């Protein structure tokens, strides 16, 4: 907020939300290690940018009912 706030922040949030919705809607998400569900470590790396300590890994498969592809 304030005078120095990014004027495009609202647009960026909207576009990112739409992108994530498309990923969730168009793909089925599976664990990388062959079907064994693993817990997700949500701890963060220290630094200026918030980043997961252990990156999320997933195998994406196109949903069969998606006729637009």
What are the beta bridge partners of residue 31? Answer: 58
Instruction: Give mean pLDDT in consecutive 10-residue pieces for the chain, a chain of 69 residues.
Output: 82 95 92 72 90 88 73
Pairing status of strand 44-45 against strand 51-52? antiparallel
Tell me what pLDDT residue 3 has: 78
Tell me what pLDDT residue 26 has: 94
Tell me what pLDDT residue 39 has: 76
Tell me what pLDDT residue 44 has: 93
Tell me what pLDDT residue 40 has: 80
d(CA 43, CA 66) in angstroms, rounded, equals 34
Tell me what pLDDT residue 67 has: 61
């Amino acid at each position: 907020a304030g005078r120095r706030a990014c004027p495009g922040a609202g647009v960026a949030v909207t576009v990112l939300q739409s992108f994530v919705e498309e990923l969730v809607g168009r793909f089925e998400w599976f664990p990388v290690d062959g079907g064994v569900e693993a817990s997700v470590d949500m701890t963060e790396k220290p630094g200026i940018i918030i980043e997961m300590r252990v990156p999320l890994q997933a195998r994406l498969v196109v949903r069969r009912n998606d006729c637009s592809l």
